[in-house]
Structure 1
Amino acid sequence: MGGQVSVQGLHVVVVGGGFGGIAAAQELKAKQVSFTLVDMREAFHHNVAALRASVQTGFAKKTFIPYAATFGESFVQGRVERVDTQGLKVTLEGGKEIKFTHLILCTGTDGPFPGKFNTVASHQTAVQKYDDLVKEIQAADSVLVVGGGSTGVEMAAEIKTEYPVKKVVLIHSRVGLADTELLASVRQQVKEVLLEKKVELILGEKVLNLEQLKLNVTQKNTALTTDRGTQILTDLIICCTGLKVNSAAYASSLPSSLAENGALKVNAQLQVEGFSNIFAVGDCADVREPKMAYHAGLHAAVAVSNIINSNNGKDLTSYYPGRVTMLLAMGKDDGVGQYSGFKLPRQLVALTKSQDLLLWKSWKEMEQQSP
């Protein structure tokens, strides 16, 4: 009985159903806290596997998991347009309002497809979008991947692994590949893997007029030029740059709590600056660490724990970033990465992440069976 009394009167709204959002929702569900999870999609997107879904026929259906089957009436599909901090409610596109005692913002980051898929969509529409890109890649003899961060290097490796005879060129505005938080030796290993797979690298150059080029559609012998005058002919352009914090749901409502990049300033307890009942987790929280699904899950546990603790008058839990752990799947047969600041063997990364891309974990967390 004590457990139920401790959460009496609470209703938590979770905005965003990415990794942080579903982790928060499952924590709330397990602790019998009343909640509503809001997301614009009909199904959770395991976007860790989005790039393989772009190259492998039939794979996309494994990467979308319906929310309603897990959360029932506690899930509402919609786009949050406004947060009313005085009236304690969120307003969805179309006017629907949802009241809350506490709010957890998990809106994540946004960016170009296929790395991100943040749009109002049915389950089938989402799957079909990726299946369509598979066909475009299959129709292309050459593919240009723009951007050499984590998404770009994984994208290039996925294409070359699945279609080794295709010409794959990766262009990156910097000389170093992958995330700057990674060890220099790991970033060098990323380059070595791509070269082993025969990916052509153009480093320290930018594509001119990228915004005017047609993306994700095969158009034979498309010509483009870099800022250093390099001429490139390609059949298909895939953009893996331009990730930004997805602040649309809260930017106008919480202007004094915004960091320069649109993330929300939070204290060590992950409470949004200026509010005791609003929390930010995952990519939209201004925490100095790599933006990863693993971290979002840790944030969610702290936020839910603190909502319950504050309701019971108990001390709040703090979140402290640890040493960098990051695994990059370089196709289904290879990978690079580091654990707590130490470089890992490529074969180990391939076994632990690259083969299944941790899909089993999301299906287990959502309490459903993978197709």
Structure 2
Amino acid sequence: MGSQLSADGSQLSADGLHVVVVGGGFGGIAASQQLKSRGFDFTLIDMRDAFHHNVAALRASVQPGFAQRTFIRYAETFGPRFVQGRVERVDTERQTVVLQGGREIRYSHLVLCTGTDGPFPGKFNTEASVQTAVRAYEDFVTQVQAAGSVLVVGGGSTGVEMAAEIKTEYPDKKVVLIHSKTALADPELLPSVRQQAKQVLLEKGVELLLGQKVVNLSDHQMNVCSSSLVQTDKNQTVKTDLIVCCTGLHVNSSAYRSSFSGSLAANGALRVNEQLQVDGYANVFAVGDCANVNEPKMAYHAELHAAVAVSNIANSLSGKPLTSYHTGNVTMLLAMGRDDGVGQFNGLKLPRCVVALAKSRDLLLWKSWRQMQQTQP
């Protein structure tokens, strides 16, 4: 489709179509690639200059030299269709996205893919160059290497994988995991898979303190090697050299909160219909973690959402019926270090060796590099 520049410098196609994708995570790059393949005019906006394959963030936290493989530059894939910047708000009346500094980008359709935020190293939602991001992970590896003992706070899926990664890479280190609940990993997983995650951690030598909360976490520095005494609400004291926090994930709503206040769920996600249209806006879609869909927050689901959103943009232009998104049985794989894993496919428990082969060895890095049409270093 031909395009032209409007008076404000935004790109508009000859027929007025211009899709703006806010957020370059798994949902954002999936949506952008599908828009690109359909020949639609679009702009992808992200505050970083590279996609972060954060499925592999925890491996990058323990293995020297690994982090550079987890960042893939947007511009090499999307060229001028990529704009680096932080979205401050959306002007729904004028149909513009407003960036920090005042730049405005017009849209006919908007796809919000802002994801979730949380503590480093599981998340890296910071305005930074690839070099700065890689250095942050390499510095963290140094802290892990210097520590004789590591405390992982939080036994959801991230905490379980973090403890397993550390213990696999550094089997001689003491690794303790504290979790406020008695069952580990994601509650959407089969009980037998959650029990298997516990079994793998125990086999690797991770010490588990379950059903306990840390009461003085704010008194200590995270991610820095420094001797600490951590106390739990069961009067247990843990001495450790390094504390890694794997709790506190939240929907990253800062880009749209003020603009779509009437469409927000209690957790900050956007209420959507079955077609993934934001409540009250036929031309605005929410994809991935920021969509209020009752299912685990996973890259796999974000990519499925993106396919529905882009199909519905195309269908709305051609007058075809819109496609609905339906949740299915949970598919989730947990990498328990590079040599083991637990999980389920379509609601059925998988053998550990199958998960290790399918995910744990490469953490699906090949998939993102292929999707971004670049060669992995």
TM-score, normalised to structure 1, is: 0.97
Contact 1:112 1:242 in 2 (8 A): yes
Which stretches of structure 1, 4 residues or longer, exceed 4 Å deviation after superposition? none
2:286 to 280, 290, 315: 280
- Structure-2 residue corresponding to 1:254: 260
Matches within 5 A, 1:1-371: 8-219=15-226, 221-371=227-377
SS at match of 2:223: coil
Figure out how many residues of one structure are paired with residues of the other and give that number.
Answer: 366
- The Cα shift of 1:80 comes to 0.4
Contact 2:276 2:285 in 1 (8 A): yes
Deviations 1:311-352 (A, max 9, x none): 121110000011000000000000000011110000000000
SS at match of 2:189: coil
Contact 2:220 2:228 in 1 (8 A): no
Deviations 1:213-254 (A, max 9, x none): 1000001x3111111110110000000000000000001110
Q: In 2, distance between residues paired with 1:7 and 1:173?
A: 56
| Structure 2 counterpart of 1:74, one-letter code | R
Deviations 1:139-180 (A, max 9, x none): 000000000000000000000000000000000000010000
| Structure 1 counterpart of 2:316, one-letter code | S
- The Cα shift of 1:46 comes to 0.2
Contact 1:12 1:101 in 2 (8 A): yes
Q: In 1, distance between residues paired with 2:66 and 2:148?
A: 21
Contact 2:155 2:178 in 1 (8 A): yes
| Structure 1 counterpart of 2:168, one-letter code | T
- The Cα shift of 1:138 comes to 0.2
* CA-atom RMSD in angstroms: 1.0
Deviations 1:90-145 (A, max 9, x none): 11111111110000000000000000000111111011100100000000000000
Report the CA distance shift for 1:235/1:26 in structure 2 as closer, same or farther (over 3 A).
same
Q: In 1, distance between residues paired with 2:55 and 2:219?
A: 28
Contact 1:47 1:116 in 2 (8 A): yes
Identity of aligned residues (%): 71
Deviations 1:15-46 (A, max 9, x none): 00000000000000000100000001110000
Q: In 1, distance between residues paired with 2:108 and 2:216?
A: 47
Structure 2 unaligned residues grouped into runs of 5+: 2-12
- The Cα shift of 1:8 comes to 3.5
Deviations 1:258-300 (A, max 9, x none): 0000000000000000000000000000001111101100100
Report the CA distance shift for 1:14/1:239 in structure 2 as closer, same or farther (over 3 A).
same
| Structure 2 counterpart of 1:70, one-letter code | T
Report the CA distance shift for 1:208/1:330 in structure 2 as closer, same or farther (over 3 A).
same
- The Cα shift of 1:7 comes to 8.9
SS at match of 1:10: coil
SS at match of 1:90: strand
Structure 1 unaligned residues grouped into runs of 5+: none
Q: In 2, distance between residues paired with 1:118 and 1:346?
A: 31
Q: In 1, distance between residues paired with 2:15 and 2:236?
A: 64
SS at match of 2:163: helix
TM-score, normalised to structure 2, is: 0.96
Q: In 2, distance between residues paired with 1:122 and 1:156?
A: 28
Q: In 2, distance between residues paired with 1:98 and 1:123?
A: 25
| Structure 2 counterpart of 1:81, one-letter code | E
Report the CA distance shift for 1:223/1:99 in structure 2 as closer, same or farther (over 3 A).
same
| Structure 1 counterpart of 2:334, one-letter code | L
Q: In 2, distance between residues paired with 1:157 and 1:83?
A: 41
SS at match of 2:267: coil
